[in-house]
C-alpha cells in the first residue's frame, strides 16, 4: 500500500508541475475534544491520508516540485505520551515506513516552511478552508517577504490544492476499489444481519446495534455516517437519526447505514417489513422504487452524464406514482410542475469514496460531467408518503429508499453492495428463515 500512496503523490506532483509548480501543503485533521480531556475517535483528513497513509494527528505533508521532494512533518517520539496515548512513529521511522524523502518534527514546521518557500513560483494550499491554517500560511508568507533583502521572494501566486486532489480522488485506483469492495461487502453483511434480527417490539437502536456489531467485527473503524434506522413514518424524515422508537408489526423499517473500512465509505439503504412480509400497499410502492433503482443502475455507462441516471430514476418514479394514483396527469406534466417532489424530494445519488458525499465537481462549465471508469456513485431513489387527505390511507407513512454503491466500469457498472437482497422475494425469503 505504501506504493499506492507514493504513486498518488507522484501524480499530484505532475499536476502541480504542469500548472507551473511550487510548494503544496496538505495538513491532516485536528483532534477534536468531546468534553474536558476526552476526545472524539481520531480520523485523519481524507486527502492527507489519501496521499500518505499516515494515521497520526498533528501532521502536514509538504510537496515541492523543484527540487522534487515529499516531506512529512509529524509528532516526535515521546515515551511519556506513548504510555498514555499509544505509539507514535516519530519522523525517522515515518520517513522510512511511508516512503517519504524526509520527515521532521511538527514543531519545526513553521521555520522549515519559511526556508523552503523562498523563490517558489506558487503556494498550493487549502485556501479559506480553515482560518487558523490560513493565518499560519499568511505568517510564513510575511516572514519570507520581511526577509526579501536576502534575495528570496515570496511566491506571488496562491492556489487551491484541494481542487486538484479532489479531481484525482474522483477516479478510484485499483487499491481504492479493493478497499471499497470490502467496505461494501461488510456493510451488506451488516444489513443482512439487521434484517435477520428485526422483529415487532424491538427498538430501532437494537437494529442499529446489529449493524455496528457487523461493521466493527470485520474491522471497520466506525460507521461512515450516522446510521438511519427509521421504523414506520420515521422513514419519511430524510435525516432521521434518533433511532429510539419501537418497531411495530405492519410497519416498514428503512435502514441507511454503511461502514468505513480503511478510510473508505459504504452507503447502503434497504427498506423491509418489520414482520417479514410486505403488505400489498407496501409492496406496490416498493416495486415502484425498485424499478426506478434498477432502471437508474442500467443507465450507468461511461460517457453518460452524471445527471442521466437521475432523470431515469425520476421518470420511473413518477410513472409509478401515476400508476398508484398518488399523482394525476402525465409524466412530463408532473416533472414540469415538480408535483412529484412531495413524494421524492432528493436526488438519486452522489459521488462516494473516502467521504460518504465524496469530493469532485458534478458539473464542468455548467454541464453535468460525463461518467468515467473508476468513478463511484450511489443510486438511491425513494418515495416518502406522509398522511394527507388526498392520499389513500393504505399508503400513509410508507417511506422507502433503496441504495447501492456502483463503480463505473468500461462496460457499465459493478455493484459493490449486491450482497444484501433487495427484491421483495429475496427479502421475504431471508426474513422467513430468521431466528
Residues that bind ligand GLY (CB under 6 A): 225, 256, 267, 350, 356, 380, 403
350 part of the active site: yes
Which partner from the list ligand GLY, Mn ion, none does 225 bind, CB cut-off 5 to 8 Å by kind? ligand GLY
Rounded to a whole number of angstroms, the minimum distance from the CB of residue 257 to ligand GLY is 8
Q: Residue 42 binds which entry of ligand GLY, Mn ion, none, with Cβ cut-offs from 5 to 8 Å by kind?
A: none
Nearer of residues 88 and 350 to ligand GLY, judged by Cβ = 350
Beta bridge partners of 39: 33
- Distance between CA atoms of residues 338 and 355, nearest Å: 30
With respect to ligand GLY, which residue has the nearer C-beta, 73 or 240?
Answer: 240
Q: Binding partner of residue 46 among ligand GLY, Mn ion, none, CB under 5 to 8 Å per kind?
A: none
DSSP-assigned beta bridge partners for residue 405: 378
Q: Are 267 and 224 in contact (CB under 8 A)?
A: yes
Beta carbon of residue 193, minimum distance to Mn ion (angstroms, whole number): 18
DSSP state of 403: B
Please name which of 409, 407, 15 lies closest in space to residue 177, comparing C-alpha atoms.
407
The verdict on 355 binding Mn ion (CB under 5 A) reads: no
294 binds, options Mn ion, ligand GLY, none, Cβ within 5 to 8 A by partner type: none
Query: DSSP 3-state helix, strand, coil percentages of the chain (rounded to 5)?
Result: 40, 20, 40
Residue whose C-alpha is closest to residue 185's, from 399, 347, 418: 418
54: helix, strand or coil: coil
Q: Which of 50, 104, 286, 384 is catalytic?
A: 384
| Residues β-bridged to residue 246 | 203
Residue 36 bears catalytic tag:
no
Which three three-digit cell numbers place residue 194?
439487521
Give the number of residues in contact with Mn ion, rule: CB under 5 A. Answer: 5
- Check if 82 is active-site: no
Other CB atoms within a 10 A radius of the CB of residue 356 amount to 17
Known catalytic residue: 108?
no
User: Which one, 238 or 424, has the nearer CB to ligand GLY?
Assistant: 238
Select which of 350, 355, 358, 405 is catalytic. Answer: 350
Among residues 137, 77, 107, 94, the alpha carbon closest in space to that of 5 is found at: 94
- Of 166 and 256, CB closest to ligand GLY: 256
Residue 191 is a catalytic residue: no
At residue 240, what are phi and psi to the nearest 5 degrees?
-65, 120
Among 234, 314, 319, 378, binds Mn ion (CB under 5 A): 378
Residues with a catalytic annotation lie at 37, 239, 256, 267, 346, 350, 357, 380, 384, 401, 403
Amino acid at each position: 500500500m505504501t506504493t499506492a500512496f507514493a504513486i498518488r503523490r507522484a501524480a499530484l506532483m505532475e499536476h502541480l508541475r504542469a500548472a507551473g509548480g511550487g510548494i503544496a501543503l496538505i495538513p491532516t485533521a485536528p483532534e477534536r475534544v468531546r468534553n474536558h480531556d476526552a476526545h472524539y475517535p481520531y480520523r485523519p483528513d481524507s486527502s492527507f491520508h489519501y496521499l500518505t497513509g499516515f494515521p497520526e494527528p498533528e501532521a502536514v505533508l509538504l510537496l515541492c516540485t523543484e527540487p522534487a521532494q515529499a516531506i512529512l512533518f509529524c509528532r516526535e517520539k515521546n515515551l511519556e505520551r506513548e504510555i498514555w496515548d499509544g505509539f507514535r512513529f516519530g519522523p525517522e521511522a515515518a520517513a522510512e515506513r511511508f516512503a517519504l524523502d524526509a520527515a521532521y518534527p511538527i514543531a519545526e514546521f513553521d521555520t522549515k516552511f519559511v526556508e523552503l518557500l523562498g523563490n517558489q513560483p506558487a503556494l498550493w494550499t487549502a485556501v479559506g478552508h480553515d482560518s487558523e491554517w490560513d493565518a499560519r500560511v499568511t505568517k510564513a508568507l510575511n516572514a519570507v517577504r520581511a526577509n526579501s533583502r536576502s534575495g528570496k521572494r515570496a511566491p506571488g501566486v496562491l492556489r487551491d490544492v484541494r481542487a486538484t486532489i479532489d479531481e484525482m480522488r474522483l477516479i478510484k485506483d485499483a487499491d481504492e476499489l479493493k478497499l471499497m469492495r470490502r467496505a461494501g461487502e461488510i456493510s451488506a453483511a451488516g444489513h443482512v444481519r439487521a434484517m435477520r434480527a428485526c422483529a415487532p417490539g424491538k427498538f430501532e437502536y437494537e437494529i442499529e446495534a446489529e449493524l455496528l456489531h457487523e461493521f466493527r467485527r470485520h474491522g471497520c473503524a466506525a460507521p461512515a455516517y450516522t446510521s438511519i434506522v427509521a421504523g414506520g413514518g420515521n422513514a419519511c424524515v430524510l435525516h432521521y437519526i434518533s433511532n429510539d422508537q419501537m418497531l411495530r408489526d405492519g410497519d416498514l423499517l428503512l435502514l441507511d447505514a454503511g461502514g468505513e473500512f480503511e478510510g473508505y465509505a459504504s452507503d447502503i439503504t434497504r427498506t423491509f417489513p418489520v414482520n417479514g412480509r410486505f403488505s400489498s400497499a407496501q409492496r406496490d410502492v416498493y416495486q415502484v422504487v425498485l424499478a426506478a433503482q434498477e432502471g437508474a443502475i442500467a443507465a450507468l455507462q461511461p460517457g453518460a452524464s452524471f445527471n442521466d441516471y437521475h432523470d431515469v430514476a425520476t421518470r420511473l418514479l413518477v410513472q409509478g406514482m401515476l400508476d398508484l394514483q398518488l399523482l394525476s396527469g402525465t409524466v412530463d406534466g408532473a416533472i414540469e410542475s415538480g408535483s412529484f417532489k412531495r413524494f421524492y424530494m432528493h436526488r438519486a445519488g452522489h459521488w462516494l469514496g473516502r467521504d460518504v458525499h465524496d469530493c469532485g465537481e458534478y458539473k464542468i462549465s455548467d454541464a453535468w460531467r460525463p461518467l468515467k471508469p473508476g468513478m463511484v456513485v450511489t443510486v438511491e431513489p425513494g418515495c416518502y408518503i406522509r398522511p394527507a387527505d388526498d392520499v389513500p390511507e393504505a399508503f400513509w407513512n410508507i417511506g422507502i429508499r433503496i441504495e447501492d454503491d456502483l463503480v463505473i466500469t468500461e462496460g457499465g457498472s459493478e455493484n459493490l453492495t449486491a450482497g444484501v437482497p433487495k427484491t421483495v422475494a429475496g427479502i421475504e425469503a431471508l426474513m422467513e428463515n430468521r431466528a
